[in-house]
Structure 1
Amino acid sequence: MSLILNLTAQGLINGAIYALIAIGLAMVFGLLRVLHIAHAGLFALGGYLGLVITNFTGNFALGLIGSMIVVAACGMVMYRMCYEPILDRPPYVPLIASVGMFLAIEEVLRLVFGDYGLSYHVPPLSGVINVAGMQIKYAELAVLVMAVVLLGALGLFATRTRMGMAWRATVSEPHMAASCGISLRQVRYLNFAIGSAFAAAAGVMVGVLNNLVEPSMGAVPSYKALAIIVVGGLGSTGGTLAASLLLGLVEAFGATYLSNVLDRDSIAFAAMLCVLLVKPDGLFSSTNRRRSLLALLQLKGAAQWALTKRPS
């Protein structure tokens, strides 16, 4: 019984990290229909910034918040400089650009910080707490709390604010949203800022859990994030969250009971293939009719928000 509880806890912790990474990827794909591979570079950049700021100031909270703010700004700059000029091109063009940006970020980190990675001078959140007979690190508990707070705040923003409704309407029906006076450009900037900040938070927490950040730390998580958004239904944030937690649990139990058949990093892709064989659209995909009805409901509030923002 204790083994099952330990594996469940570890699966939820891993799932929370995957959710923070994948949610930004799903947001960008849902809005632009672009696979944002460079998201992995922002994840690694966030890990480095959090470590450098924490080592310099001795304040982990400042390192986390500073990393999220800087990486959010970098995400907006990335959209403006690299994506916006080529959105009217075929889908493979932004994809190639995104892969190029990821490789560029990785090489810049390698040139600036070296090949072998960095560690915290004094690892933050290094204590442990006993919960139901299990020893859980403070860092692991912080991951769960952070995921709940950030994803909960995102859900409230998207459903309870006019700006959030405008964002959801733009994702569902961009042309209808634009005709209601919503600025697609502002929504896209917001989208990249939120998704990039989440990636930074995940990068910082992975660095804390491993007490190591390195230039290539975003590679494997980004591949798993791609598998997650496919399983969750491309562009579905709710599906991405559910698929993240599901993958975390599958990995935790699979690494224990299937270690002779598959290694840990292969389990994500094996799970993705199994799901796609049964349901090619993903577990949580919606029909076009449901999306259209939802978009109409969102546009009602989004149009009101846009009208209040217009100068008199």
Structure 2
Amino acid sequence: MLHIELVLQGLVNGSMYAVVAVGLTLIYGLLRVLHVAHAGLFTLGAYITVLITNATGNLVLGTLVSMVVVGIVGMVVYRLLYEPLLKQPPYVALIASIGLFIAMEEGYRILFGPYGNSFTTTWLTERVSLGPISLAAADLAMLLGAIVLLTFLALLMGRTRLGMSWRATVTDPAMARSFGVDTIKVRYGIFFLASVFAAAAGSLVSVLNNLVEPTMGSVPSYKSLAIIVLGGLGNIGGTLIAALLLGVIEAYGTIYSGAYLDRDAIAFVFLIAVLMVRPQGLFGARA
């Protein structure tokens, strides 16, 4: 029974990492830039969800508004921050992204205060029984929400023009343009989609923890960077598998090595161990 509960908890955490990391993977595959400011959009999504939900009593409305608003903000970030730097070395955009993330954290601290906001609803603390296993309602909401979002992403990337254009642009931008792919629209579309996923992840984490505070994006973003390396940079399928694997490893590690390692350190120990054996990540191609 303990193993089943650990696997379920690992899948809950892993699904959260997957929703955060998939946006980073989409953008890295397109621009070869580590979009650290993604964590700031994650936090913005959480704040919008909590504020609207508390005002209206409707979590679904709060989440949807959050996704749309943060998606638009993501496109603005691309236009004002990344587009002027596309011809510069990748580290220039990375430094700019880190600076934006720090500025966003301080902005949230000024606007919303340093201590955090919570939902006023009570259902988050309830537990749901699945046979002999009991899960918190917030954990179940996280798992189901992640399944819906990732299924939507799979359909979108596999069966729509945006998905095909993204794959073509990632593989060979010049060839994609020669076949009529509007790479500028693809970039805006991918930034909107990645930012929508950042907002959704922030909403789910705010439900999971019942707390939103200015620095809440830091740890998930660092782990997401580790995950996209583990999954093979730009590999969506590898990112999802690596995220779920990391969640399960953390769940077991907390029980069996919690006396020696903090839960958040387990991700980086696992990353170092994998990269010593496979520098290209679990699912990356060798150079």
Query: Which category describes the TM-score, using the shorter chain as reference length?
Result: over 0.9
5 Å-filtered alignment, 1:98-113, equals 98-113=97-112
Residues 50 and 67 in structure 1, CA contact (< 8 A), matched pair in contact too = yes
In structure 2, C-alpha distance between the alignment counterparts of 1:124 and 1:112, rounded to whole Å: 28
Q: CA deviation at 1:215?
A: 0.2
Q: CA deviation at 1:163?
A: 3.0
Task: Identify the residue that residue 174 of structure 2 maps to in structure 1.
Answer: 175
> Secondary structure of 1:135's partner?
strand
Distance 1:234 1:13 in 2: 23
Q: CA deviation at 1:167?
A: 1.7
Structure 1 length as normaliser, TM-score? 0.90
Q: Find out whether 1:232 has 2:231 as its counterpart.
A: yes
2:246 maps to: 247
1:196-229 CA-to-partner distances (Å, cap 9, x unmatched) read 1111111111111111100000001111001000
Distance 2:163 2:36 in 1: 25
Q: 2:127 maps to which residue?
A: 128
- The residue identity in structure 1 corresponding to 2:258 is S
Correspondences of 1:1-312 after superposition (within 5 Å): 2-286=1-285
TM-score normalised by length of structure 2: 0.97
- Residue identity opposite 1:263 in structure 2: D
Cα drift, residue 131 of structure 1: 1.2
In structure 1, the gaps of 5 or more residues are 289-312
**Does the residue aligned with 2:26 lie in a helix, a strand or coil?**
helix
Number of residue pairs matched by the alignment: 287
Q: What amino acid maps onto 1:49 in structure 2? A: I
Matched residue type, 1:235: G
Deviates further, 114-123 or 12-21: 114-123
Letter matched to residue 165 of structure 1 = M
1:123 is displaced (CA, Å) by 4.2
Residue type of the partner of 1:162? Answer: R
Q: Does structure 2 retain, via aligned residues, the 8 Å contact 1:123–1:211? A: no
Secondary structure in 2 aligned to 1:284? coil
SS at match of 1:217: coil
Structure 1 residue 242, shift from structure 2 partner? 0.3
Q: Give the distance between the partners of 2:213 and 2:241, measured in 1 at CA.
A: 28
Q: Runs ≥4 in structure 1, deviation > 4 angstroms?
A: none
Larger radius of gyration: 1
The AA in structure 2 aligned to 1:193 is: F
Contact preservation (8 Å) 2:43, 2:212 = yes
Shift of 1:138: 2.0
* Per-residue deviation, 1:125: 4.1
Runs (5+) with no aligned partner, structure 2: none
Alpha-carbon separation, structure 2, partners of 1:213 and 1:92: 30
Q: What amino acid sits opposite 1:211 in the alignment?
A: N
Alignment RMSD: 1.1
Residues 28 and 35, structure 2, Cα contact 8 Å, conserved in 1: yes
Amino acid at match of 2:261: L
> Would the aligned equivalents of 2:124 and 2:210 in 1 still touch at CA under 8 Å?
no
SS for the counterpart of 1:37 is coil
Cα deviation, residue 124, structure 1: 4.9
CA distance in 2, matches of 1:122, 1:162: 40
- CA–CA distance in structure 2, aligned partners of residues 120 and 233 of structure 1: 37
User: In structure 2, the residue corresponding to 1:136 is in which secondary structure?
Assistant: strand
1:254 and 1:264 in contact (8 A); partners too: yes
Q: Distance in 1 between matches of 2:104 and 2:240?
A: 26
Distance across 2 between alignment mates of 1:166 and 1:287: 24
Structure 1 residues 130 and 124: CA distance shift in structure 2, 3 A: closer
